[in-house]
Structure 1
Amino acid sequence: MSLAPRVVLVHRTTEYEELVARHGTHGQAAFFLSSRGRDIAELAERHRRTRRALAEVTAAVPLTWRQARVERADLDRFLFAPEDVVVVVGQDGLVANVAKYLAGQPVVGVDTDPGRNPGVLVRHRPRDAATLLPAVLARSAGVEERTMVEAVADDTQRIVALNEIYLGAVGHQTARYRLGLEGDGGVVEAQASSGVLVGTGTGATGWLRSVWRERGGGTRLPEPAEDRLLWFVREAWPSPATGTSLVAGELSAAAGLRLTIESERLVAFGDGMESDALELTWGQSVRVGVCGERLRLVG
């Protein structure tokens, strides 16, 4: 007998909840904000909207289906099953946070704060869940497959991201490494920089785009479903021992960027989640390129 479908609701602690947890009570949190010229009412209202959205989506799950709920901070400890339908209730960034832990499960993004969130990845409203969930199970809902980026170290450590992977020093100090492009005649350059950023077409709406604009926007940004990445070295430092000739480029599906570490400790993390990073040290190498898995986003 096959298992009933399972809906996994992904959410994150609201700013209001974080503030009250830090200060103990609503009143103390309100006093703290008022002393800095802010009103807690706005945060409290956004918190209520998020909770209402979670309740509405939860109520829309068919009674015969199983349910699970996971908070953003616990994603790296949660085991997703192949048959799961993942419903992200929150902001666009929360979809990116969960994407790295999936292996082809469909993702429904539900916007809890329309008008405040761009809605690029959270495209639906809570009221849509009742019709979307059965359609996803029946495979009649449209699904968009978005390219992801991966970093794989020589000790088999691996990290995946939807927007971008950053490789650099803890605390964003100077990172030292040797950088080379696969299939580029073996050209390798020793560098000292603020780190390396490799991003996708989805990431082209965020951090990657800001760096791209600073560099003059000469290379076309990739589309979300395109098997092409852009990479940038941030603030490469020229010296007798380090160069600045390899500071930007693009990667096709078959290409990769390879870095050999020449620092005591560097990290690689995806989509801003520094708590879930690869730890790299002297002599290790890491390859960054297009990931074989895709985010399957319900349109």
Structure 2
Amino acid sequence: MSLAPRAVLVHRRTEYEELLARHGTHGQAAFFLSSRGRAIDEVVRRHERTRQALRDVASAVPLTWRSCRVERADLDRFLFAPEDVVVVAGQDGLVANTAKYLSGQPVVGIDTDPGRNPGVLVRHRCADTAALLRTATAAGGRADELTMVEAVADDAQRLLALNEIYLGPSGHQTVRYRLNTDADPGPDEAQASSGVLVGTGTGTTGWLRSLWQERRSTLPLPAPGDPRLLWFVREAWPSPTTGTSKAGGALERGQALRLTVESDRIVVFGDGMETDALELTWGQSVRLGIAPTSLRLVV
């Protein structure tokens, strides 16, 4: 007998909850905001709208299903099961934060505060939840397959991301490394820079697009489902021992960007989750390319 589906409701603390965690009481939080020219009333109203949205989403889960909740800060400790349907309620970025921990489970994106989010990944309203859950478990249910990027280190550490993976210093220093791609038959290039960014079509709404625009790149931006990545080196520094000729490019399926560390430490993190990062030290290498798994976003 197969298990009933489990709805996993992913959310994050509201601004009001974070203020209470930091300041202890409503009054102290209100005083803190007022000292900076802000009122707490709108913060509370957004909190109440979000809480109501989470209740509405939870009530749409069929009674025959199992269900649970997980907060964003606990994602790296939560074990997703193959039969899960993941309901991400919040902002677009929360879908990206969740995607790296999944292995093909369908994802339903619910916008808990319409009008404040772009709605690229949280495309639906709370009232749509029940229908979307049926779609997620139905044979032939429609889902967009969004390309993801992965980094695999020589010690078998692995990291997935939906938008982008960043490799670089943990602070604002310069890091040194050697870099090459399968698309370039030439030798590795020694570089000194503030890091390297490798992004997907979904990431073209954020950090990747800003680098693409800054460079006035002629590379076509990929769509979210395209099996293609773009990569850019940030602030490459030319010197007698470091070059800048390999500063950006595209990666097709099966191609990889390879980087060998020549600094004491480089961090590798995805989608802004700096607390869940890989750490590479001198001499280690890492390979970046299209991930074998994709994000299944229910439509």
- Please say if residues 135 and 298 of structure 2, whose CA atoms lie closer than 8 Å, have aligned partners that are also in contact: no
Counterpart Cα distance in 1 of 2:84 and 2:139:
13
After TM superposition, give the deviation of residue 45 of structure 1 in Å.
1.1
Counterpart Cα distance in 1 of 2:221 and 2:58:
38
Partner of 2:148: 148
Question: Structure 1 223/129 Cα, relative in aligned 2: closer, same or farther at 3 Å?
Answer: same
Identity of aligned residues (%): 73
Partner of 2:99: 99
Counterpart Cα distance in 2 of 1:152 and 1:180:
15
Partner of 1:170: 170
Deviations 1:248-294, CA, capped at 9 Å, x for gaps: 11111111100000011101000000011111000000001111100
The amino acid that maps onto 2:175 is A
Counterpart Cα distance in 1 of 2:186 and 2:261:
17
The amino acid that maps onto 1:18 is E
Given the alignment of the two structures, is residue 85 of structure 1 paired with residue 82 of structure 2, yes or no? Answer: no
Partner of 1:298: 298
The amino acid that maps onto 1:230 is L
- Please say if residues 169 and 267 of structure 1, whose CA atoms lie closer than 8 Å, have aligned partners that are also in contact: yes
Counterpart Cα distance in 1 of 2:61 and 2:257:
43
Counterpart Cα distance in 1 of 2:253 and 2:172:
29
The amino acid that maps onto 2:48 is R
Partner of 2:73: 73
Partner of 2:33: 33
Partner of 2:139: 139
Partner of 2:276: 276
Partner of 1:12: 12
The count of corresponding residues between Structure 1 and Structure 2 is 299
Deviations 1:42-98, CA, capped at 9 Å, x for gaps: 111111111111100111111110001100000000000001000000000000000
- Please say if residues 167 and 197 of structure 2, whose CA atoms lie closer than 8 Å, have aligned partners that are also in contact: yes
- Please say if residues 132 and 141 of structure 1, whose CA atoms lie closer than 8 Å, have aligned partners that are also in contact: no
Counterpart Cα distance in 1 of 2:176 and 2:272:
21
Spell out the pairing of 1:198-209 with structure 2 (5 A cutoff).
Answer: 198-209=198-209
Partner of 1:249: 249
Given the alignment of the two structures, is residue 232 of structure 1 paired with residue 210 of structure 2, yes or no? Answer: no
Counterpart Cα distance in 1 of 2:294 and 2:128:
24
Deviates more, 1:230-239 or 1:186-195: 186-195
Counterpart Cα distance in 1 of 2:114 and 2:217:
30
Unaligned runs of 5+ in 1: none
Could you say what secondary structure the match of 1:47 adopts?
helix
Counterpart Cα distance in 2 of 1:73 and 1:239:
41
After TM superposition, give the deviation of residue 140 of structure 1 in Å.
4.9
After TM superposition, give the deviation of residue 218 of structure 1 in Å.
1.3
The amino acid that maps onto 2:210 is S
After TM superposition, give the deviation of residue 135 of structure 1 in Å.
2.3
- Please say if residues 175 and 263 of structure 1, whose CA atoms lie closer than 8 Å, have aligned partners that are also in contact: yes
Partner of 1:191: 191
Counterpart Cα distance in 2 of 1:186 and 1:76:
39
Counterpart Cα distance in 2 of 1:89 and 1:35:
31
Counterpart Cα distance in 1 of 2:108 and 2:138:
14
Partner of 1:55: 55
- Please say if residues 172 and 195 of structure 1, whose CA atoms lie closer than 8 Å, have aligned partners that are also in contact: no
Question: Structure 1 39/188 Cα, relative in aligned 2: closer, same or farther at 3 Å?
Answer: same
- Please say if residues 150 and 288 of structure 2, whose CA atoms lie closer than 8 Å, have aligned partners that are also in contact: yes
Counterpart Cα distance in 1 of 2:111 and 2:217:
31
After TM superposition, give the deviation of residue 183 of structure 1 in Å.
4.5
Partner of 1:128: 128
- Please say if residues 253 and 290 of structure 2, whose CA atoms lie closer than 8 Å, have aligned partners that are also in contact: yes
Counterpart Cα distance in 2 of 1:153 and 1:186:
22
After TM superposition, give the deviation of residue 107 of structure 1 in Å.
0.2
Could you say what secondary structure the match of 1:172 adopts?
coil
Counterpart Cα distance in 1 of 2:173 and 2:92:
29
Could you say what secondary structure the match of 2:56 adopts?
helix
The amino acid that maps onto 1:224 is P
RMSD of aligned Cα (Å): 0.9
